[in-house]
Amino acid sequence: MSRFLKIFLGVLTAIGGFVDIGDLVANAETGARFGLGLAWVVLVGVVGIVVYAEMAGRVAASSGRPVFDLVRERLGPRVALVNLLASFFINFLTLAAELAGVAIALSLLAGVSYVLLVPAVAFLVWVVVWRMSFGAIEHVFGIMGLALLVFVVALVHLSPDWTSMLHEATHPALPTEETPFTYAFFAIALFGAAMTPYEVFFFSSGAVEEGWTRRDLATNRLNVYVGFPLGGLLSLAIMAVASQVLRPAGISVGTLPQVVLPVAVVLGKVGLAVAILGVFAATFGAAIETGLSAGYTVAQYLGWQWGKFVRPRDAPRFHLVVLVSIVLGALFLLSGIDPIMVTEYSIVLSAAALPLTYFPILVIANDPEYMGTLTNGKVLNAIAMTYLCILTIVAVATVPLMIITKGGA
Amino acid sequence: MSGRRFWAHLHLLDRQLVDRDGRLCGNVDDLELEWRDGRLWVSGLRTGAGSLARRLGARVLGAWLDQVHRGVDPERADHTFIPLRHVADLGDHVTLSLDRTEVATWHGERWVADHVIAHIPGSGHASDE
């Protein structure tokens, strides 16, 4: 493959792979309830994930060490264990939510209850993790996920008043039926959805899986600096479409089909089919990423051999953790729990757990022993420190807000 | 490797162990120290679930894990201890001059490989391209 094509493919993958069940639900839900009053949070979240994913990619490319390896080295075994338990639990909720997303997308086509499809979906996800090469997994689902661009098409087709939309986004106002607490709660949900910790676990482990070296740093930057912001725009399109179609109709988002409802209203059956394909690809890809991340975190904390770059026989406990996580995720859904609630909890709790993951990345990215000459610059450090402060405030505020708002109700 | 000065806590503890063929084989879970000439020297590395549990404060669990480990093959050398002479290189990871089969974590890996993973079709093949 030519170098240009490879980079182009990488950027497309980063765009399509940016959105997962958390982004779909959080953006549609806030669009329906707050209009564009929370759009600025997506912007803040995207800058945050860009800053830290680039750092994690750079660390992995220059030292070959993935994120959870560093978490233990810098936080010590005890704090790292707390982080592992929290991250593993949140990652598990996310995995279950993604599996539900795939099953719901298929159920819209098959016309049966999604719960019946969960076992088959879990099996399919596991087979892909077990057999498909890492590069193929990333590209196939990332590029299929571009079908979500249908939300952009729907938005343009609506031909909304762009200036008033811009005004709404830049002058956030609190809708009369909401409280400052629900506003803050959904801000955290959007923030958590954009900065989910599994993204950096997966991104940095993926860099090691693909054998990145310093020569791949340009690719890293392009994927992150171009792909992620465009993925963020896609998230905003989902929010904008919901604010244009669902909000005036007084429809709030309580199920996944309501996320794609606006596309069906604006573009009809064909649009709906493309949107369903996009949701399927985005959640399927993310289910694989979270399944792998379950294995990555545990194996990297304990030093076990991990990764798809070796035969499964050579990374047995890594594959066992992945398999068990997927099976448990499916069983959790079969208990009949509401998948939208699982999604909301996963993104809000993500926000709370973020500092423990991002702090070690920042420390290592400044350590010449790992980075050689590739340590952070001053501006980047200033931005990264600011985010660490925001993350800490968010982490402290999350649980009280969950209690006050009764989970955003 | 002897007589080199470094911050043992910062440069050794919790680092990834890599065997002589580049395979990941556990972490530096603890250090073995000895007094010589009025100074404290690192004599070797400890690795495995037992050492980790002890460092996390679970002494009883740690002792039990080590015992289980030794019970697998009482004749065999203690694979939870790695004398410093088997450390080939110190960098952002610790490279050993040993094979992974001579390091504690191998036994758990092998058990899961033999009893679970080997029974799933395709376990011995690399992923399809």
pLDDT digits (tens, 9 = 90+) for A344-354: 999 999 988 88
Cα dist from B74 to A342, B63, B79, B83, B122, whole Å: 48, 15, 11, 19, 34
Predicted pLDDT of residue A392? 94
pLDDT tens column, A183-238: 999 999 999 999 988 999 999 999 999 999 998 898 889 989 999 999 999 999 99
Average pLDDT over residues A144-172: 96
Predicted confidence band at B58 (pLDDT cuts at 50, 70, 90)?
confident
Name which of B13, B24, B51, B107 to mutate to probe chain A: the one with the most chain A Cβ atoms within 10 A of its Cβ.
B24
Predicted confidence band at B59 (pLDDT cuts at 50, 70, 90)?
confident
Identify whether A173 is part of a domain.
no
What is the layout of strands, in order, in the sheet containing B30-36? B30-36, B39-46, B81-83
Predicted pLDDT of residue B5? 62
A20-24, A150-154, B122-126: the lowest-pLDDT one: B122-126
Cα B86 to Cα A403: distance, rounded to the nearest angstrom:
54
Residues of B in contact with A63 (CB under 8 A): 92
pLDDT tens column, B79-108: 889 999 999 998 889 999 999 999 988 988
Predicted confidence band at B65 (pLDDT cuts at 50, 70, 90)?
confident
- How many other C-beta atoms can be found within 10 angstroms of the C-beta atom of residue A4? 8
Question: Considering the entire predicted model, what is its pTM?
Answer: 0.94
For position A149, which CATH number holds? 1.20.1740.10
Q: What share of chain A in percent tops pLDDT 90? A: 84
Is residue A272 scored above 70 in pLDDT? yes
Number of folded domains in chain B?
Answer: 1
Taking the CA atoms of chain A, what radius of gyration do you get in angstroms?
Answer: 20
Give the range of the structural domain holding residue A103, as residue numbers without chain letter: 3-168+180-404
Is residue B128 scored above 60 in pLDDT? no
Residue in A204, A252, A215, A217 with CA at minimum distance from that of residue A361: A204
Per the CB < 8 A criterion, the answer to whether A360 and A75 are in contact is: yes
Dihedrals phi, psi of A75, to nearest 5 degrees? -100, -10
The ipTM of this complex is 0.90
Identify whether A133 is part of a domain.
yes
**DSSP letter, residue A307:** S
Taking the CA atoms of chain B, what radius of gyration do you get in angstroms?
Answer: 16
Number of folded domains in chain A?
Answer: 1
Average pLDDT over residues A264-292: 96
Is residue B3 scored above 70 in pLDDT? no
Residues from B contacting A (CB-CB < 8 Å) are: 13-17, 23-27, 29, 47, 49, 52, 55-57, 92-93, 100, 105, 108-110, 112-113, 116-118, 120, 122-129
Per the CB < 8 A criterion, the answer to whether A305 and A60 are in contact is: no
Average pLDDT over residues A308-314: 93
For position B57, which CATH number holds? 2.30.30.240
Predicted pLDDT of residue B74? 61
pLDDT tens column, A70-127: 899 988 999 999 999 999 999 999 999 999 999 999 999 988 999 999 999 999 999 9
Identify whether B62 is part of a domain.
yes
Identify whether A332 is part of a domain.
yes
Per the CB < 8 A criterion, the answer to whether A68 and A84 are in contact is: yes
Per the CB < 8 A criterion, the answer to whether A106 and A121 are in contact is: yes
Identify whether A175 is part of a domain.
no
Identify whether B124 is part of a domain.
no
Cα A339 to Cα A346: distance, rounded to the nearest angstrom:
10
Q: Which residues, in sequence order, are bridge partners of residue B128?
A: A132
Identify whether B3 is part of a domain.
no
Predicted pLDDT of residue B1? 44
Structure tokens at A81: 């264990």
Cα A297 to Cα A85: distance, rounded to the nearest angstrom:
10
Residue in A355, A329, A363, A365 with CA at minimum distance from that of residue A103: A329
Per the CB < 8 A criterion, the answer to whether B53 and B65 are in contact is: yes
Residues of B in contact with A308 (CB under 8 A): 127
Structure tokens at A86: 């929290």
Predicted pLDDT of residue B91? 86
Predicted pLDDT of residue A189? 95
Is residue B2 scored above 70 in pLDDT? no
Identify whether A189 is part of a domain.
yes
Dihedrals phi, psi of A307, to nearest 5 degrees? 110, 155
Chain A: give the shortest CA distance to residue B37, in Å. Answer: 30
Q: Within the 266-325 window of chain A, which residues sit less than 8 Å (CB to CB) from chain B?
A: 302-306, 308, 310-314, 316-317, 319-320
Residue-wise DSSP of B43-54: EEEE-SHHHHHH
Kindly report the average pLDDT of chain A as a whole number: 94
Identify whether B106 is part of a domain.
yes
Is B23 in contact with A314 (Cβ distance < 8 A)? Answer: yes
Give the range of the structural domain holding residue B112, as residue numbers without chain letter: 8-119
Is A132 in contact with B128 (Cβ distance < 8 A)? Answer: yes
pLDDT tens column, A27-68: 999 999 999 999 999 999 999 999 999 999 999 999 889 999
Is residue B121 scored above 60 in pLDDT? yes
Q: Smallest Cβ distance to B116: which of A134, A306, A320? A: A320
